[in-house]
Amino acid sequence: LAVSGRRLRVAILGAGTVGREVVRAFLETPARLQPADGSPLELAGVAVRDIARATAAGIPARLLTDAPAHLVGAQDVDIVVELMGGEEPARTLVAAALDAGRPVVTANKRLLARHGPSLEAIARRAESPLRFEATVAGGVPILAPLASDLGANAVTRVRGIVNGTTNFILSAMAHAGRSYGEALAAAQAAGYAEADPAADVEGQDAIEKLVILARLAFGAWLPPEAIPNQTTDDDGAAGPPGIIGVTAADIVAARAAGRTIKLLATAAPAGGVPGSIAARVVATAVPVDSPLGRTSGVLNRIEIDARPVGQVAFEGPGAGGAATSSAVIGDLIAIARGLGSTWAGLPEAGRGRVVAAEHEAYLVGPSGARYPVVD
């Protein structure tokens, strides 16, 4: 994709909360989509499932289609933005676009986490940029800074609160003394949790984000199904996944020990074997007064430990259409400027292996649940 004065035409697949905000940026602030040292961007079309609904939401009918595959393959489309979510048809459409030499921007963490190795292979073979800043921590710039600005560091640990839904629930339990069920209902009422909250509360969403962070931090694609979302007791019996076993009494007990419970995603190289990563996403007892302990509500916080930089941390809104659209638009501009893939500058990733974390202390709650204790 040569950088030139020619307009690059952008196809958007999906017009949900994020897609609508990206379309709005094209319609209302087009000057912001013209990088000073790259090609200007313009909107070619928007593929949606329900054209009438998209029109009612304010997207001009002339831009709309319900045939995403046709839009991806259209002669006059230069860049594809995939905001449909889910594995299919997103995977097929993204793979086809990359294979045809078209740059892709996606906010689809599940797609990247589950098909990262094959999509990276296609993108590299076809020399098609693939960018995915929006997949982790919404609008917070974390992936490009990790890959690019911190790219010469040796990362020794990545950890963070990367799921706003569970953090909203745990914050409501800690601050308002609510039960898990009450807090989940409040999150659903506030629009922070889905009707079927399993992917969030059982930790799968955070696992997918951790896979993507680990790709950039450690150069390895971890298999998401190998990342534990539960602790095991001394007999090897697994506790409840994610945060679904956390009780109000557990949080009170943690508080008495100066701690609070957070769903913490952690990955660190292990055993000195390249590609061997100790990774997990489990309810964890963090110091109540630490920056992680004080990360409340739907805020995200990610901490990178690396040499020579030390520890740097990134905070911000981990979700929401407007915030996430910032990352999508940032990626579009990066492509228009010829910056390549999110991993540009880093070597091709191999497949990584998830190993168990080192032995450590646990806080055992009144419910019997075990929470790793970390500082």
Q: Does 151 bind a second copy (CB under 8 A)?
A: yes
Read off the amino acid at residue 230: Q
Closest C-alpha among 348, 277, 287, 345 to residue 122: 348
Q: Does 106 bind a second copy (CB under 8 A)?
A: no
Minimal distance, residue 273 CB to a second copy, in Å: 18
Enumerate residues 240-299 that contact a second copy by CB under 8 A. Answer: 291, 294
CB 341 within 8 A of CB 129: yes
Q: Does 234 bind a second copy (CB under 8 A)?
A: no
Catalytic entry in 115, 209, 280, 301: 209
Given the complex with a second copy, which of 45 and 129 has the nearer CB atom? 129
Q: Does 347 bind a second copy (CB under 8 A)?
A: yes
Q: Does 153 bind a second copy (CB under 8 A)?
A: yes
Active site residue 209: yes
- Please spell the DSSP secondary structure of 58-127, one letter per residue: T--GGGEES-HHHHHH-TT--EEEE---SSTTHHHHHHHHHHTT--EEE--HHHHHHHHHHHHHHHHHHT
Minimal distance, residue 40 CB to a second copy, in Å: 12
- How far is C-alpha 217 from the geometric centre of its chain's CA atoms? 14
Minimal distance, residue 258 CB to a second copy, in Å: 16
Q: Does 348 bind a second copy (CB under 8 A)?
A: yes
Q: Does 197 bind a second copy (CB under 8 A)?
A: no
Among 122, 334, 354, 357, binds a second copy (CB under 8 A): 334
Given the complex with a second copy, which of 63 and 146 has the nearer CB atom? 146
> What H or E segment, with its residue span, contains residue 351?
strand 350-351
- Which neighbouring-strand residues pair with 105? 81, 131
Minimal distance, residue 72 CB to a second copy, in Å: 23
Among 12, 13, 14, 35, binds a second copy (CB under 8 A): 35
Q: Does 121 bind a second copy (CB under 8 A)?
A: no
Among 320, 352, 365, 372, binds a second copy (CB under 8 A): 320
Q: Does 202 bind a second copy (CB under 8 A)?
A: no
Here the tokens at position 81 are: 């933005």
Q: Does 175 bind a second copy (CB under 8 A)?
A: no
Here the tokens at position 353 are: 């292996």
Given the complex with a second copy, which of 92 and 311 has the nearer CB atom? 311
Q: Does 136 bind a second copy (CB under 8 A)?
A: no
Q: Does 375 bind a second copy (CB under 8 A)?
A: no
Q: Does 323 bind a second copy (CB under 8 A)?
A: yes
Among 19, 45, 116, 139, binds a second copy (CB under 8 A): 139
Given the complex with a second copy, which of 117 and 151 has the nearer CB atom? 151
Query: How many beta carbons lie within 10 A of that of residue 301, not counting itself?
Result: 21
**What is the bridge-based pairing of β-strands 350-351 and 41-47?**
unpaired
- Token pair 């909250």 is found at 197
Given the complex with a second copy, which of 226 and 294 has the nearer CB atom? 294
Q: Rounded CA gap, 105 and 12, in Å?
A: 9
Q: Does 117 bind a second copy (CB under 8 A)?
A: no
CB 41 within 8 A of CB 10: yes
CA atoms within 13 A on the CB side of 16: 13
Q: Rounded CA gap, 313 and 291, in Å?
A: 9
Minimal distance, residue 292 CB to a second copy, in Å: 12
DSSP 145: I
Given the complex with a second copy, which of 236 and 308 has the nearer CB atom? 308
Here the tokens at position 132 are: 């995915």
Strands (E), 129-272: 130-131, 154-161, 220-221, 259-269
Q: Rounded CA gap, 355 and 344, in Å?
A: 27
Q: Rounded CA gap, 271 and 356, in Å?
A: 10
**What is the bridge-based pairing of β-strands 220-221 and 350-351?**
parallel
Minimal distance, residue 62 CB to a second copy, in Å: 24
Q: Does 38 bind a second copy (CB under 8 A)?
A: yes
The catalytic residue positions are 209
Give the binding site for a second copy (CB under 8 A). Answer: 21, 25, 29, 32-33, 35-38, 133, 139-141, 144-145, 148-154, 291, 294, 306-317, 320, 322-323, 325-327, 329-330, 333-334, 337, 339-340, 344-348
